[in-house]
Amino acid sequence: MMAEFTDQLQAATSSLWQKSQDHPFVKELASGELPLKKFRFYLLQDRYYLDEFTKFHQLIAATAEDQQIADFVRARAQDLRDTEIKVREQFFQELAITSEEVLKTPIAPTAYAYVNHLYQSLARDGLGAGVAAIVPCYWLYQEIGKSLADTDSPVTYYQEWIDTYEDDWYQVNVAKVLALTNQLADQATEDERQGMRDAFIRSSYYELQFWQMAYEEEGWN
């Protein structure tokens, strides 16, 4: 039996994904050694990312001609607001991250580039590429959640972060997004499938860069 399209994508990015798993940001979250300052930096940049990621779902839905796909993608956006984004709002309160701080925080180059890449994938290569671009965001974090399942980080925030991606709602959403990606790949031309591969690989690259961005508290200088 031929491997699913998403299995081929994962095989093509295994070394990037492994580098994410091994990144000091992830390792130190688990051990508790990650300086809180770097975690705050990550949360502030990820607030921009998740906000745009949710808006991007709405744009995908508006682009989809198939009503079922549009409804499905809108439902994922709602799930994001109800779960992951809610958990983050709690972190913001606990870590005293105010709306003024959010407003005055510049978007770091990598967060900016990752979000631009999402929009560009859809605009240039179409629906399949737009969907493939969002998959690593769901799937890589699930894999990281799984690999840290037995971890008991001594820092409560870090453990709460890990728990988010081990939760049942997250597993269900990842499975649904992978099924949609395979469905779109089945219906795509070879050129469109190539667009989907490129989008997935680029997102996997940006996922890795995102840890590095937070770890070095990346700026524009």
Ligand X SMILES: Cc1ncc(CN)c(N)n1
Enzyme catalytic residues:
137, 207
- Maximum separation of any 2 CA atoms in the chain, in Å: 55
Instruction: Fill in the amino acid letter for 173.
Output: N
The angle, 0 to 180 degrees and rounded to 10, between the axes of the packed helices 36-63 and 127-147 is 150
Candidate list 210, 213, 214, 215; residue touching ligand X; CB under 6 A: 210
Q: Is 34 exposed, middle or buried (0-12, 13-18, 19+ CB in 10 A)?
A: buried
Instruction: Fill in the amino acid letter for 122.
Output: L
Span from 6-14, 22-30, 42-50, 124-132 in contact with ligand X (CB under 6 A): 42-50
Q: How far is the CB of 53 from ligand X (least distance, A)?
A: 7
Q: How far apart are CA 10 and CA 114, in angstroms?
A: 19
Q: How far apart are CA 77 and CA 55, in angstroms?
A: 8
Site for ligand X contains 48 (CB under 6 A): no
Count of residues near ligand X by CB under 6 A: 8
Site for ligand X contains 192 (CB under 6 A): no
CB 213 within 8 A of CB 111: yes
The total of other beta-carbon atoms located within 10 Å of residue 156's CB is: 10
Site for ligand X contains 52 (CB under 6 A): no
Site for ligand X contains 196 (CB under 6 A): no
Using CA atoms, how far residue 164 sits from 30, 42, 167, 169, in Å, is 14, 16, 5, 9
Site for ligand X contains 141 (CB under 6 A): yes
DSSP state of 195: H
Binding mask 53-92 for ligand X (x = CB under 6 A): -------------------------------x--------
Span from 29-37, 44-52, 68-76, 119-127 in contact with ligand X (CB under 6 A): 44-52
CB 158 within 8 A of CB 29: yes
Q: How far is the CB of 206 from ligand X (least distance, A)?
A: 8
Candidate list 137, 148, 174, 178; residue touching ligand X; CB under 6 A: 137
Q: Give 136 or 188: the residue with its C-beta nearer to ligand X.
A: 136
Q: How far is the CB of 35 from ligand X (least distance, A)?
A: 19
Contact residues for ligand X (CB under 6 A)? 46, 49-50, 84, 137, 141, 207, 210
